[in-house]
Amino acid sequence: MQINFSFVLKYSAAVAAILFMNACLPSPNPDPGSSVEPESGANTSVDFGKTKGGESTEIYTLKNKNGLIVKVATYGATLVELHLPDKDGNFVDVLNGFDDVSGYEGEDNQYFGCTTGRVCNRIAKGKFTLDGKEYTLATNNDPNHLHGGEGKALSKQVWKAESATDAQAVTFSITTPDGEEGYPGNLSIKVTYTLTDENELRIDYEATTDKATPVNLTNHAYFNLAGSGSGTVLDHELTLNADKYTPTDDTLIPTGKIESVEGTPREFRTSRGIGEGIPDKEATKTEDCKTAPKGYDHNFVLNGNAGEQRLAARLKDPKSGRVMEIYTDQPGIQFYSGNFLKGQKGKGGKVYPFRGAICLETQHFPDSVNHDNFPNTILKPGETYKTTTVHKFSAQ
């Protein structure tokens, strides 16, 4: 066989040119808005900016084999992004948040995606008594204490990060000293985020103390399953595995009663649209119509046994088909309907409108430290606080 060497040389040169051009082109990104595309099972970190105090922060990216992406930052051990596919395989980010740490330090941040504590939710008038001593906390949600306080709350500190080498996970840790934000004891905390190949985001909390102290940790992510900044969530369909709830006074502090949801606007035992129970005009402040004028901000008492994993909530966006199920071992879940979102701008200039996302915060009940009939939130020396919440995602 006779070989045409002239043709071979021309063909080889053409192939080399094509390969060079392809190498210079950016790789396709099936998940628009994601700046980091790690391989499944890997995690990477990039700079997330410096705080006002000059501390460096990082953001870690986790990705599973199905293309789901989670981004978490060292500032506040915060969930920043969560990219999920719809029923047609189109990915969007479903979390409210900001492009760098400066947004999370600004006045437009309403606890977006952060780890809250030492005690999440509210403590009445910022006071509690433990072992015969009264403790005074910041009243940063007048007249009450909210989500751990002001400048040194867990959501406003830079945590240490340790990424796993053999799993799609990252662990954040912090120690808050005795007396910080008014709380007793040196409290050491770990929060681990794991993204599984079963499309689950698992959050494991662990804490120890050298002095008795109240502890109640949760994540404060704002979800819009249609995509963050895509309008209200009033058409989302919600189910809560809760026959009862804890009624509150006008400042959202529990009265101490535990009552049935039956016949009230808090009836979500079967799936229904979030907007169905929110009045168009201000609700009258009666016991029968206490959704709060702007929407929901209520603690629901979960069915089943606290300490055992069970389904707490199911949220679906009927248009995209995205579904989120939440499983937890906690006794309660706070349903908050984005009542104070105000059109602030977030990631990529997206606008977060009034009722544009919801929070489903697994927790012990608000103000438990002041109610003997509520599940205990006191952690003592020698004990280990442990709790796990799992978010499972699908599309239908």
**What residue type is assigned to position 251 of the chain?**
T
| Helix count and strand count (H, E) for the chain | 2, 29
| Measured distance CA(319)–CA(143) in Å, rounded | 40
| Measured distance CA(278)–CA(233) in Å, rounded | 12
Residue that is written with structure tokens 């109240």 in the block: 214
Q: Is the dihedral of CA 12, 16, 18, 19 positive or negative?
A: positive
Closest CA to 259 of 275, 272, 242: 242
How many Cα atoms within 13 Å fall on the side-chain side of residue 194? 16
Buried b / exposed e along 276-309 (16+ C-beta atoms within 10 A): ebbeeeebeeeeeebbbebbbbbbbbbeeeeeee
Closest CA to 158 of 43, 77, 98: 77
| Measured distance CA(25)–CA(292) in Å, rounded | 53
- 147 catalytic? Reply is no
Catalytic residue among 220, 236, 364, 391: 220
Residues 6+ positions from 355 with CB-CB distance below 8 Å: 232, 233, 234, 278, 295, 337, 338, 339, 341
Q: Give the CA distances from residue 100 to residues 35, 49, 136, 246, 365, in Å, rounded to whole numbers and listed in that order.
A: 12, 6, 33, 37, 32
Residue that is written with structure tokens 């919440």 in the block: 389
One DSSP character per residue, 132-158 reads: TEEEE---SBTTBEETT-STTSGGGSB
Catalytic residue among 58, 361, 364, 371: 361
**Residue 98 corresponds to which tokens in the numbers above?**
């900001």
Helices (H), the chain: 5-24, 101-105
Helix (H, G, I), strand (E, B) or coil at 63: strand
| Measured distance CA(370)–CA(380) in Å, rounded | 17
- 361 catalytic? Reply is yes
Residues marked as catalytic:
220, 361
